Structure 1
Amino acid sequence: MYGYFGTMKAKPGHRDAVVEILVSGAGGLKAAGAHLYVVGVSDTDEQTIFVNEVWESKEHHDASLQLPETRAAIATAMPMLTGEFSSTEARIVGGLGV
């Protein structure tokens, strides 16, 4: 399994709208090969959004980024983001929920 763990920063006042976009698309990810998709925020940082994903494979993850609904969500969210992103990829070896 493939893990993708990332952060993004929203422009001031836009974090909740970006989170809503990210969470609204979660329903279709299971069919695309996602085992886990979690969006989180901090109570002390009003800009950073955390996204943790576990996929059947990196290929499944990459293919999900080409889905029309994913591309539309990205296009809607991008103007609300600062452009500051971080990401880590991992080979998932086990754990609760996977």
Structure 2
Amino acid sequence: MTITRRTAATTLVALAALPLATRAQTGKHKKEASPMYGLIGKMRAHPGQRDALIAILLEGTAAMPGCLSYGIAKDKLDADALWITETWVDQDSHKASLSLPAVQAAIAKGRPLIAGFGERFETEPVGGHATMSKKSA
């Protein structure tokens, strides 16, 4: 049997696709896992209160079961705005976090500093990594 470029290329493509086909077949028999849940939102503090609000949010969100990442970033164009980016194992974990005592305390303490909210996006994270090494703003 003579192997041509076409035969070799076809074989390589088939071999490359094999893990995907196998994963699709075995996945049919497994219970479907809930997708990860992501949330990106803009928050506006009252003038001059952004850093105080960030401190409250960081303090109240340190230990939330199911939270894979919780990042707060200052908006570079608006001195009173901040962005919060969250990644959760699933949407239920996010919902449950809202009833945690530390989160409830942060909401109560931070509410007077919040002037309003901007854009809000729900996402379905698919991968990556989070490295939030600094704990303060």
TM value normalised by structure 1: 0.89
Query: Which residue identity does 2:59 align to in structure 1?
Result: S
**Any unmatched runs of 5+ in structure 1?**
none
Q: CA RMSD in A?
A: 1.6
Of 67, 70, 92, which residue of structure 2 is paired with 1:59?
92
Corresponding position: 1:9 with 2:44: yes
Of 108, 117, 122, which residue of structure 2 is paired with 1:84?
117
Larger Rg: 2
Query: Which residue identity does 2:127 align to in structure 1?
Result: G
Aligned to 1:94: 127
Return the alpha-carbon distance in structure 2 between the equivalents of residues 25 and 86 of structure 1.
Answer: 22
**Any unmatched runs of 5+ in structure 2?**
1-35, 131-137
| Greater share of helix | 2
Higher RCO (CA 8 Å, separation ≥ 6 residues): 1
Q: CA deviation at 1:23?
A: 1.1
Aligned to 2:3: none
Query: Which residue identity does 1:21 align to in structure 2?
Result: I
Aligned to 1:41: 74
Give 3-state SS (helix, strand or coil) of 2:62's partner: helix
When residues 26 and 68 of structure 1 are mapped into structure 2, their CA distance, relative to the original with a 3 A threshold, is closer
Q: Percent identity?
A: 37
Q: CA deviation at 1:53?
A: 0.4
Return the alpha-carbon distance in structure 2 between the equivalents of residues 85 and 78 of structure 1.
Answer: 15
Give 3-state SS (helix, strand or coil) of 1:28's partner: coil
Aligned to 2:54: 19
TM value normalised by structure 2: 0.65
Give 3-state SS (helix, strand or coil) of 2:84's partner: strand
When residues 50 and 57 of structure 1 are mapped into structure 2, their CA distance, relative to the original with a 3 A threshold, is same
